[in-house]
Structure 1
Amino acid sequence: MKRLLLAGFALALLVPACAFAQDSFTGTWKLDPASVQRSGKPLVFSLKDGMYHCNCTPPVSVKADGEDHPVSGHDGFNTVAVKVVDDHAIQETDKQDGKVVSTSTFTVAADGKTATSEFTDYHDGVATGGTKATFKRVGKGAPGSHAVAGSWQFGRGISASGGISSNTYKVAGNDISYSDESGNSYTATIDGKAVPLMNHGKQDGTVSVKRLGKLTLRETYQKDGKTTLTSTMVVSADGKSMKTTNHSEPSGRTTTFVSDKQ
């Protein structure tokens, strides 16, 4: 009887430990910029006779005069300003209702074969994160064009900061919450219905989360009933790293990267 009581007591101690074991996704994850890979159609610019065009999604065609020009159909901004910095660089400023939401500078190397892109995200005039990456030329621009004209394929990530570089998940049973330094957040039930995706306290579409395996989750982001992005995260067996595969439905591009648990 005494042995049975001791065995029962030991089992009672073990049950809470198993029941409340931390989920592999719980924690803060920091992006390894060098791990970023991107597939899909290349980025194509044209810049000639003062007119700029990009095969963005949707495409952008504006005067490269540094002034704000209206665009439609884009997520998060409704004007674009393109400024020619010099013979090898341009700067783009995106705004939503007059407020800067992002800036990017695309600089082509002297040999014209590679380029560096620097992107900064803003909220209420304050930078919240940024990235720096390289591109490889895969197609030439029209004769007489600016150096940025042509087709460019993503090369490699160099650096990332702020909300772009890290995010935090908390998972307890089927409850999950997410947040990052860029102001994005949500609280949802895994395998449950879509919930609001919040950005600095305002809804910015919806997100639903499914568990595809013990170490795999998939987020589906939607706006106006249309899927904009699917994000599949797989935690390594040792729980120290996580591979994310983001597929953009509008552009058809897929980006993968690895984040390390902090």
Structure 2
Amino acid sequence: MKKLLIGGMLLALLLPCHAMAQSAFDGTWKIDINKVQASNKPEVITLKDGEYSCNCTPPIHVKADGMDHAVTGHPTMDTVSVKIVDDHTITETGKKNGKVVYTDTTKVADDGKTATFESTNERDDNSATVKGTLTRVGKAAAGSHAVAGSWHASSFQSASDNMLSYTYKVAGNDVSMSNPRGESYKARLDGKPVPYTGDPGTDKIAVKMVGKSMQETTSLAGKVTSVATMTVSADGKSMTTVITNKPSNRKITLVAMKQ
């Protein structure tokens, strides 16, 4: 009887400790597309006299003739084509080694104040599409195409399911992540870079705790590409992630719900 009593006491003590040790980040999360907030830093497009440019990082400047034109400094693509569909619509296509990696279609409203966009990313038969709305925050030069000017991504209407969810597993100082697009990593929470698989724009990731937040720093060929800081709400039901893309310093904020 005494042994049973002692055993029961130990079990009662150990169970709360185990519950307390479980990480708030552990589990599957799904992004609420309606709560996505894009950077206030505008995208600036020029399109006049058959010449297209944007303040991308690095900048892109090509002829808008629907033909593939070489670009440099972009690790996931080596050519870009821009096609003028009509007075209010353009399509942009990026390729790597002749294979399409993304397609963007932008259509400006008749009043010129807003535009809709649909962007599709292609990755080994695992495509993902996001749709949203742009709001004009700056005018273009006279005689420009309607898509020219400064724009802010003001809202997002939809995204493919495979873009919205991801799963973390945390055990002590070990953390792993996987998502439906085939991306994954296994790391220690020590800030040391480890391999990242499944994303052609990322080959390393370093993970560490910063206070109560978890911070991921991604890189490609030794250059930092993004810094993401994730914070779980007090009730454990939601996680807010602020991603700063490098070197543009454009930020995007995501709110994901625990599944």
Q: 1:60 to 1:116 in 2, by over 3 A?
A: same
Q: Which moved more, 1:229-238 or 1:18-27?
A: 18-27
1:245 to 236, 242, 245: 242
- Once the two structures are TM-superposed, the CA of residue 35 in structure 1 deviates from its matched residue by 0.9
- Once the two structures are TM-superposed, the CA of residue 152 in structure 1 deviates from its matched residue by 0.6
- Once the two structures are TM-superposed, the CA of residue 207 in structure 1 deviates from its matched residue by 0.5
Deviation by residue 1:220-262 (Cα, 9 ceiling, x = unmatched): 1122322211000111112111100001121111111201112
- Once the two structures are TM-superposed, the CA of residue 8 in structure 1 deviates from its matched residue by 4.5
Query: Number of residue pairs matched?
Result: 258
Q: TM-score, normalised by structure 1?
A: 0.91
- Once the two structures are TM-superposed, the CA of residue 128 in structure 1 deviates from its matched residue by 2.4
* Larger strand proportion of the pair: 1
Identical amino acids, percent of aligned pairs: 53
1:256 to 247, 253, 258: 253
1:206 to 182, 204, 225: 204
Distance 2:257 2:74 in 1: 31
Q: 1:44 to 1:188 in 2, by over 3 A?
A: same
Distance 2:149 2:211 in 1: 42
Matches within 5 A, 1:87-166: 87-124=87-124, 126-166=125-165
- Which sections of structure 2, spanning at least 5 residues, go unmatched? none
Q: CA RMSD in A?
A: 2.0
- Which sections of structure 1, spanning at least 5 residues, go unmatched? none
Structure 2 counterpart of 1:149, one-letter code = A
Q: 1:192 to 1:152 in 2, by over 3 A?
A: closer
Distance 2:11 2:27 in 1: 28
Q: Is the 8 A contact 1:32 1:257 kept in 2?
A: yes
Q: Is the 8 A contact 1:88 1:109 kept in 2?
A: yes
Q: Which moved more, 1:89-98 or 1:31-40?
A: 31-40
Distance 2:191 2:217 in 1: 12
- Once the two structures are TM-superposed, the CA of residue 186 in structure 1 deviates from its matched residue by 0.7
Distance 1:67 1:127 in 2: 25
Q: 1:119 to 1:127 in 2, by over 3 A?
A: farther
Q: Which moved more, 1:12-21 or 1:240-249?
A: 12-21
